[in-house]
Amino acid sequence: DAGVIQSPRHEVTEMGQEVTLRCKPISGHDYLFWYRQTMMRGLELLIYFNNNVPIDDSGMPEDRFSAKMPNASFSTLKIQPSEPRDSAVYFCASSPGTFAGELFFGEGSRLTVL
Amino acid sequence: QKEVEQDPGPLSVPEGAIVSLNCTYSNSAFQYFMWYRQYSRKGPELLMYTYSSGNKEDGRFTAQVDKSSKYISLFIRDSQPSDSATYLCAMRRAEDYKLSFGAGTTVTVRA
């Protein structure tokens, strides 16, 4: 299996621009998570989906952030407009929802907002 | 106060030493406890998980959970340079799959 695939791996943009991060989860996994990692705050859960339906978006920092999962094999995280404080590594993870609830992470999208 | 507290280190040990890592937590509803390893510029990967209290051993790794003290530990025996990474504890309630992570401890094993 190819694992969780994220794109782009690196994104540098200017403040005010729209940013779209993409994720392809592992086939057959029912859960998809978006996390953000920074030195100051560590790994923070932004939102997660079960069977393409958003279950908990309480971690989404503000209305500038939105996430969608139009089908079982694709999800996007969008930031509009972007700000320098959004600079972070954004991870997508998927899970089969088994006993342990193991998360399989992608390699992350490193976002820099100038 | 964060739900999960973890000393970020860094921790530097000689090859062959025992590495001891730990986390404390405040939410008594946590039932599943995990340790993830994250290499530089990579995503975290699951090392071990434990349900409720007790010990679990897997090769050179031992995970311990003490729910009465709200304290979990990970021990790495005979540490190798390839163990150099950031180790993150994570935990969740039984009702959902949301994982709360510690800050991560950066470990360097010197050859």
- Predicted confidence (pLDDT) per residue in B23-81, tens digit: 999 999 999 999 999 999 999 999 998 988 889 999 999 999 999 999 999 999 999 99
Q: Testing the interface with B: which of A45, A46, A105 to mutate, by most B Cβ within 10 A?
A: A105
Give phi and psi for A13, each to the nearest 5: -140, 170
Mean pLDDT for the stretch of residues A64-78: 97
The dihedral sign for the CA sequence A46, A86, B1, B46: positive
For residue A114, count CB atoms less than 10 angstroms from its CB and return exposed for 0-12, middle for 13-18, buried for 19 or more: exposed
Contact between B108 and B21 under an 8 Å Cβ cutoff? The reply is: no
Residue A93 phi/psi, 5-degree rounding, is -140, 150
For residue A100, pLDDT over 80 is answered with no
Is the pLDDT reported for residue B87 higher than 70? yes
Question: Chain B residues with CB-CB distance to A under 8 A?
Answer: 32, 34, 41-46, 49, 51, 88, 92, 96-104
Whether A100 sits inside 8 A of B42 (CB atoms) is: no
Closest residue, chain B, to A47 (C-alpha)? B98
Closest Cβ opposite residue B44 in set A95, A97, A105? A105
C-alpha B73/C-alpha A61 separation (Å) is 31
Residue A35 pLDDT grade (very low, low, confident, very high; cuts 50, 70, 90): very high
Is A94 touching B (CB cutoff 8 A)?
no
CA A61/CA A46 separation, integer angstroms = 7
What is the three-class DSSP state of A40?
coil
Inspect the interface and report whether the beta carbons of A56 and B44 lie closer than 8 Å.
Answer: no
Interior/surface letters A48-63, b for 16+ CB within 10 angstroms, e for the rest: bbbeeeeebeebbeee
Question: Both tokens of residue B86?
Answer: 């950031």
Structure tokens at A32: 């998809």
Q: Tell me what pLDDT residue B98 has.
A: 87
